[in-house]
Structure formats: structure tokens, C-alpha cells
Structure 1
Amino acid sequence: MYDTIIVGCGVAGLTAAIYLARANKKVLMLEKEGIGGQIASSPKVENYPGFQSISGMDLANALYEQVLNLGVEIELEEVVKIVPGKTKKVVTTDNEYETKTIILATGSKYRRLNLDDEEDLIGNGISFCVSCDGAFYKDKVVAVVGGGNSAAINAISLSDLCKKVYIVQNLDFLTCEEKMKEDLSQKKNIEIIYHAEVKKLNHDENGLTGIEILENGKPRTISLDGMFISIGQTPATEAFSNVIECSEDGYFLSTDTTTKESGIFVAGDCRTKKIKQLTMATADGTQSAIEAIDYLSKEA
């Protein structure tokens, strides 16, 4: 029996684990993919207090080591169901656990283009994580699909490695911060294609070879070695929507980190909130942990 099971090992979940462990609670973290959540894929983080600049992976690893040193258990298992009650159950593909409280810090997952052969090409020319896969494309030609902050950051990072970087944006303007637009304009090997949509993925037995797009309604073929999809994310809440009420777009409905289910809390980008930033995920993790500690003290 655990005091708290945290579903998700992103920044929100890791922060919650730190607070709970320091309160001498028995904590288990469950994660189906990798430690750090979406921040781990960011090549550079410059808006986190205390660091002039740090890679997302380094920040995630620092949090991970801190959690391990506090005695938190971490298992790489996919949670498929939670069962509410005074004693709650968390069911994974491999095991079933009992706990007094649950914190859902499931984060979000990368949006796809929903094109033929897309899933088969992930890892074979299609990627979402520049810090993970960017080095594979040194001196090669790549495209970044998207026009927001993540797309701009990815394109800038890739421009230092790659011979040529295309940005394929469906609008006639970029939605990233002005400073990022300035940084993009300084890169001579970045070409921004506006009002464009990827319609087809070209490939051979070795992987992606290019894309076919509609640019201002006109077809265009671009030969590529790789493509990074940077069009945002969707909340990873499907497995829990029968227990925790969700918004129309899939986020846990919550004005703070509490839910209508006693002893079940939500934290991070998986819940409804206006601002989604790294520091906000940290704050959510802190609040959810303190709420869980308070619940445990009252139920003792």
C-alpha cells in the first residue's frame, strides 16, 4: 500500500514526488515512456529560475536524481485504469497497485499530422525531439512543421547542425515569440514556407525521403532527410476520463489541483488552465503534493 501513486514523470510529477518524499510518504511513480516529460525534448531552457541556460534533458535528469535520492520508487509501466475509493487501485499493463491517494500528472503527447505511413516513419525520418534525434541529421536537410515557440526553438537548434532547415507553417505568419522571430531571421540556412500544408510523406525502405506540400494552394515537393513535427500536444487523459471529468478538448476539468474524486489530484499540462509553462508545472506539482499530504493527515 502506497501513500501516493503519481502517474507521470514530468516536471509536475517529479516536483510532487519531492514534496511527498520529504514528508516521509511512501511514493510510487509510474511512467510509460521516459523521465522528464515534454521538457526533456527541449534543447535549451532559458526561463527556469536559477539557470541562465540548461538543456531540458539535463534539468529532467537533475530532478530524477533528486527523486531517486529521496527514496521514491519509479516503474516504467503504462497505467490503463484507476479505481476510486477509500483504498484506490492503479492498474497497469503489468501490475495492480493500491494507494491512499493518486496524483495524475500525465502531461500531454505530441500531435501527429495524421498522414499515411506517419506512424511507421517515426524514428525513420520523422521525429519530435531535436535534443534526442537532431545529431542524426548533421549536414543534412530537414523540415520543421509548425510555427509556434517549440517549432522556432527546434528550427534554430537544427540550423546549427543541418545544411538546410525548412519551416512549414500553415498560417501566413509565425506564432512564436518576437525574440524567436528575430533569431530565425539571423539564420541564413532557414527557409520559412508560409500558408503551407504537408499532404504526403515520401519514403523508401530506409525511411523518409521528402514531403509533398500545398503552398498557397500550389503543389510542391521537398526532398528531405528528416522532419520534426512541432505542432503542439494533446493531453494524455483518455485512460482516466471515466473517473475524472474532462473538457471538450480532453483536459482534466479543474480550477486547481483538486478533483471531485476524494484523494485524487491532477497536476501539470493535463489539466485545464490558462497558462502552461515549466514553472507552472512545478507549482502544480507542489500544490498537488501539499493537497495530498493534507488529505492523508485528515484520513489517518
Structure 2
Amino acid sequence: MELLDIAIVGCGPAGLSAAVNAKIRNKVIKVFGAEVCSPKLASAPWIDNYLGFHQITGTELRDLYLAHIEEMGIEIYRTRVDNIVPMDSTFMLAAKTDMFEAKAIIIATGVSQTSYLPGERDFVGRGVSYCGTCDGPLYRSKTVAVVAYTHEGVEEANYLVTVAEKVFFLPQMKDYHGLSSQVEIVNGRPLGVLGEGHVTHLALKDQQLEVAGVFIFRDVTPAEQLLSGLNQFQGAIVVDRSMATNIPGVFAAGDSTGRPFQLAKAVGEGLVAGLSAASYIDKSASIK
């Protein structure tokens, strides 16, 4: 298994800025991102407050970012990271069925465009999951629900139906082509996760689905699911001026660290995080 210097989770403005600056410091890096990097940026019709780029569209600016990355030989691994586990002196990253190891982590995942469901956070690890591949075997021969805000939910539902007794699929997007015919589609908006000690039901407007687990797939993995123990305040990852979190070797940048949700802030924080992570690795090596 290749040992990375820095694993950068997220390929939006903060993540790409971190990648450029870590690469300049001659670090072995890998950027993990979604199939489409920063859809929020791409959807911006005009950007007027980004210095040096007056009246540029979001798509044009994103294309410039990606061209810069490509020119520097930085590869984006188009798979979402599901979990990060601290080891003795490194971190293990699980991205679907692949595993990676890194000396430092930069979290630049942004913020989800959808809100938590009532009861969702109360049952994380007790019936609520964000990774079917990781937790699916725990629900063998049981009934589960998949709440899908992105097409990734289709892929995960197709896997879950091979291990669970029954899979309810609640599409929160228009396109869910490729869904297995064995998955039962339930139209409607989920209103909350219910249970006593463990998930027992998923509430909808007109019914309650009896389930042992609820798998939720959004555009962003919640920070507390990504890496256990991260300090947060009002949903944002707490960082210091060097963009360091409370976990040594873990840095964060961009929208994931809180407001304002602006390009200049994200790019600047990404730069600081990239340089700080590089310095952390250099200092760790000198101690050894």
C-alpha cells in the first residue's frame, strides 16, 4: 500500500488550493473527490467578488482550477472517502472497497446542501449509516431504507439488496436509473428517524417504514462520520490559524470550517492547510 504524505478529502476550491501548495512543497499527495468537483461552484451564473476574475461564470472558474491541477500532474481520485481511522503515526482512509494510508489529512469536503433529518444524528452508529459497503453486512437478512440525494445512493442500494432481506429506496432526486428491480421504491420525503436505543422506523408523511437501518447518501459525508472525535461547533469543524483541528495531523479548510461560504476564504484556507500539513510532516520527520 502506497504511503501518502497528505490525503486531501474534497476537490472544491479549498481542496484544490491545498493540493497545489502541498505539491509545491514536494509532498506525495492524493485528492479524493466526487465525480463532479464543486457542483455548487459550477452552478454559479456569475462571480463578481473574486479578485482578478471580474464577471466569470462558476463553470469557467472551475475549469481553470482543474486545468491548473492537471498541469501540475495532480490526480483526482474520483471516489468519496467514507471513513478515516487514526493509526499510531498515520491515518487509514476507506474509499468504498479501497484503502489508503497517509501521514496527514486535509478535510475540505464543504457543506451539504441538505439538512439532517430529525433523529438522524442521534442514531449514527445505531442504525444510521452513510456507507453501505462498510456497514451493509451488519444488516444481513434485515430490512433497511436508503435515502438518496445523489446517484451514489443507487449504487449502494444495489449492493445492499444483495445482503439485506429488503431494501426501501427513497429517491430525493429525479434521476435514479440503474436501480435494481429488487429494490422497492417509496416516493416521499423522509421526515425523521425513530427508535429506542436503535433505529426502528423511518417516518414519512403518511406512513412509518419499519426498518433496522437507514442509509443516507448526500453530496457530503458528515464530519463526525468521516473522522470520529473531531471538534465541531454549530456544524463547523473547529480549527486554529494554521487550519489544524484538535486531532494532530488533521487539518480542515473551506466551507467545512464555517461561514462565510466564499471562494476567497476557501482558497486562502486551502493554501494555509496545505502549507501547514507539509510543515507538520517535515517536523514529524525531524523528530524521528
Same fold (TM over 0.5): yes
Unaligned runs of 5+ in 1: 125-199, 201-232
Q: CA deviation at 1:82?
A: 0.5
Partner-residue secondary structure (3-state), 2:171: helix
Q: Which 10-residue stretch deviates more, 65-74 or 31-40?
A: 31-40
CA–CA distance in structure 2, aligned partners of residues 110 and 39 of structure 1: 13
Counterpart for residue 284 of structure 2: 299
**Does residue 245 in structure 1 map to residue 247 in structure 2?**
no
Counterpart for residue 112 of structure 2: 109
Counterpart for residue 290 of structure 1: 275
CA–CA distance in structure 2, aligned partners of residues 113 and 97 of structure 1: 29
User: 1:120 pairs with 160, 171, 188, which one?
Assistant: 171
CA–CA distance in structure 1, aligned partners of residues 284 and 115 of structure 2: 43
Q: CA deviation at 1:122?
A: 2.2
The count of aligned residue pairs is 190
Partner-residue secondary structure (3-state), 1:20: helix
CA–CA distance in structure 2, aligned partners of residues 292 and 34 of structure 1: 25
CA–CA distance in structure 2, aligned partners of residues 17 and 52 of structure 1: 25
CA–CA distance in structure 1, aligned partners of residues 116 and 108 of structure 2: 25
* Contact 1:36–1:57 under 8 Å retained in 2: no
* Pair 24,110 (structure 1): closer, same or farther in 2 beyond 3 Å: same
* Contact 1:46–1:53 under 8 Å retained in 2: yes
Normalised TM-score (structure 1):
0.58
Counterpart for residue 246 of structure 2: 260
Partner-residue secondary structure (3-state), 1:269: helix
* Pair 237,64 (structure 1): closer, same or farther in 2 beyond 3 Å: same
* Contact 1:84–1:243 under 8 Å retained in 2: no
* Contact 1:21–1:71 under 8 Å retained in 2: no
Q: CA deviation at 1:92?
A: 0.9
CA–CA distance in structure 1, aligned partners of residues 79 and 284 of structure 2: 28
Q: Alpha-carbon deviations, 1:200-227, whole Å to 9, x = none?
A: 9xxxxxxxxxxxxxxxxxxxxxxxxxxx
Amino acid in structure 2 at the alignment position of 1:82: I
Normalised TM-score (structure 2):
0.60
Q: Alpha-carbon deviations, 1:214-258, whole Å to 9, x = none?
A: xxxxxxxxxxxxxxxxxxx988424225131222x4221224411
Matches within 5 A, 1:20-59: 20-59=22-61
Q: CA deviation at 1:264?
A: 0.6
* Contact 1:11–1:37 under 8 Å retained in 2: no
Partner-residue secondary structure (3-state), 1:298: helix
* Contact 1:39–1:56 under 8 Å retained in 2: yes
* Contact 2:6–2:104 under 8 Å retained in 1: yes
CA–CA distance in structure 1, aligned partners of residues 83 and 269 of structure 2: 22
CA–CA distance in structure 2, aligned partners of residues 250 and 51 of structure 1: 31
Give aligned-pair identity as a percent: 29
User: 2:7 pairs with 2, 5, 8, which one?
Assistant: 5
Report the structure number with the largest CA radius of gyration: 1
Q: CA deviation at 1:293?
A: 1.2
Over the residues paired in the alignment, what is the CA RMSD in angstroms?
2.6
